[in-house]
Structures are given as structure tokens and as C-alpha cells.
A = this chain, B = another copy of it.
Amino acid sequence: MNLDFTPQQLQFREQVRDWLQAHKPSEPRPDDGAEGRAFDLAWQKTLYTGGWAGINWPKAYGGQGFDTFQQLIFLMEYAKSGAPGDHYRFNGLNLAGPTIIACGDEEQRKTHLPPILKGDVIWCQGFSEPSAGSDLASLKTRAIVDGDELIVTGSKIWTSWARFADWQQLLVRTDADAPKHAGISWVINRMDNPGMEIRPIHDMAGGSDLHEVFYDEVRIPLKNIVGGINNGWRVSMAQLSFERGTAFMPSQIETQKTIEELIELARNTRLDDGRLAIDDDHIAFQLAKLRAETRSLLAMTLLGISRNERSGMPGPEGSMLKLFQSELYKRITTVALDIVGADRARLSGLTGRWPQAFLGSFANTLGGGTSEVMRNIIGERYLGLPK
């Protein structure tokens, strides 16, 4: 039981810190989609040139092949430095890329991996469907083999940044008669493929990063199937093995920043009775509790990394982190409303970010598995309770 880094690791930390300090963009990421895309790709190019692209990718495929602790150190320093988040780069770097590394063939790897690291392309995901959300395996988008192509018809939903993506990791049903987990394939699809229609979805927090994507006899070469036909469920599960516990580090550090900023806000905000918010015992009690919980989020993340490092694979404890973090973040934004009082009505001005964060927080307990699904997973896979 120790929190110590080796001298080499400490030296590595200095190196990361210095490089980020020197190279991180000085201007904030633009809100606009096209400008955001350009910004993300430029930053990825900078990382690539600096030798920091694909920290968790094997060297053989252009990555850095960092061990878990180097990844941990990199991510901690990265988040602390205030460097830009993954944004549009997220899918390629963390989901599609690693899946192709694990399950793709050599040609797929050569074709698709370098452009991701070099900042040439943006990837997105096509998994969920309107009637297959929590129950992903019941997806219906069908793909019929026609010669050396698949013909895909159906629709996908919740595809983040689809309008600005070049490629898509797509799950389709290639065998309608097989049991529901067994007839699915994982395919690589071009976003400018004829027969596709992309419709942005406006969310309650004012964003439009989510999309619905429609497929009308879209043709995808058979060689774009990754991991073999009808093997898509297992391929998509393999993605998980790339999250060696470090996956939660960025959101952990973001949460810590947020709660500290909220405490600072409470020290400077007056309630309707004229007192400072921090002097209200009820607000102080809640803030302190959130601070303690956020602290344990760090400890849980480190314990998770330690566990994965020993066992070599992530366990069901990840569901506990996801559930804890997303519910915690929601509580934080709710207490924020309490502090800003009637100012919660305004999305602009100095305090506008807090009601805005409150609206955005609803996504946390829905996306990436609802809190209810997380509780099922914890109950069934971690505690062994029956379905």
C-alpha cells in the first residue's frame, strides 16, 4: 500500500509538466463545430509531433506504449495543466483506435491508426438505436452481404459530433436469426458514404453534439468488418480492456476543480439574507460532504488503477466509479443552484456557468449507461445477485 512514484516516474512527471507548459494552446477551444474540429486536429498534431500522441497505444502502432503509471502521471499533469480536453478526438483515441489495435487486421491497422494519431481524422460511434438504448444488444440496423460489400439499412442515435467526423465505428446486425448477442458485427464506416443522412439533436443544455444517423442501403466493404463477421459484440466488449482504470482520471480531476471552484464561489456569494453562502451551515455542510466525496473519487480511481495493474484487466468496480462520479457531479451542480439562489435563472453573467452545468449534468447519469443500469451491473456482476 503506497502512493510513491519511482525517481524515474518523478522525472517523467517533470518532463510532461514542462512540455505541456510550453506547448498547450493559449486560446480556448472555439464553441463552433467546424472551428472546434480544426482546433482539435491541430492540437493532436502538436501532441504527435511532441511525442505524446496515443499514450496508451502500443509503440508498434505509433503510440507511446506508456505503462499504467506513466499514463496516470500524464493524465494527472494534463488535467492540471488546463490543456484542452479530448472533445472530438475522444472516440478515435480511446475507443475506435484501441479496438482496431486489438481486433483489427494488419491492413485495417495500417490504414486507420496513423491518421488518428497524426490528427488527420475524427471518429464517431454508431452503437445505440432509438429502441436499443440500455438494451444495446437488441439493435436492429441490418446489414446484408452483397458480394464483397455489406448493405446497411437502419438508424443510429446519440452519435456525438457525427457532423464533424470522418469515420464511424458502427454496430450492425449481420445475422437476424442468431441470438441477439451473436448476430452483430463491428464495422468501419466512412461518414461521407452515400445513403447516409445526419440529423443533429438539440439537447436541453443548449448543445447539439448528439446526432441521429440514418442509413439507406449504405454500402460498406466487407474488409471493413473488424474481428470477423457476427463477432461484433465481443469486439465491442474488448474496448473495455483498454480502459486500464486511467479512464476515470480526467473526470476525477475535473470534478475536483469544480467542487473547489464552488467552495470559492460560496465564499464570495451573498444569500438573500445578506450572509455569505459559506456562512450558512446547511450550505457549508453540503459543500464539505461533496468535498469529501470528491476526495474519495481520487482514492477510488487510484485503487482501481492498482487493481487493474495487478489483475491485468478492468473489473466491475469501474461501474461503481461511473455511478459514484456521475451522481456526485449532479449533486454538486444542485448545491450550486442553492448557492447562486435566484441567479440560477440566468445562464449569462458571472454565475451563469452553474445553472448551465446543472442542465448539462442530466447527461451524466444517462450517457454511457444509466445509473439504473450501473446499479444492475454492480448488483449482478460484482455482488453476484441473480438477474
Interface residues of A (CB under 8 A from B): 280-285
Contacts and interface: CB of A to CB of B under 8 A. Distances in A.
Number of copies: 2
A282 B286 CA distance: 9
Contacts of A282: 281-282, 284-285
Nearest to A280: B281
A269 to B, nearest CB: 15
A149 to B, nearest CB: 43
Nearest to A275: B281
A2 B282 CA distance: 37
Contacts of A284: 282
A282 B282 CA distance: 4
Contacts of A285: 282
A175 B280 CA distance: 64
7 contacts: A280-B281, A281-B281, A281-B282, A281-B283, A282-B282, A282-B284, A282-B285
A372 to B, nearest CB: 15
Contacts of A281: 280-283
A380 to B, nearest CB: 19
A19 B34 CA distance: 83
A23 B50 CA distance: 92
Nearest to A286: B282
A335 to B, nearest CB: 13
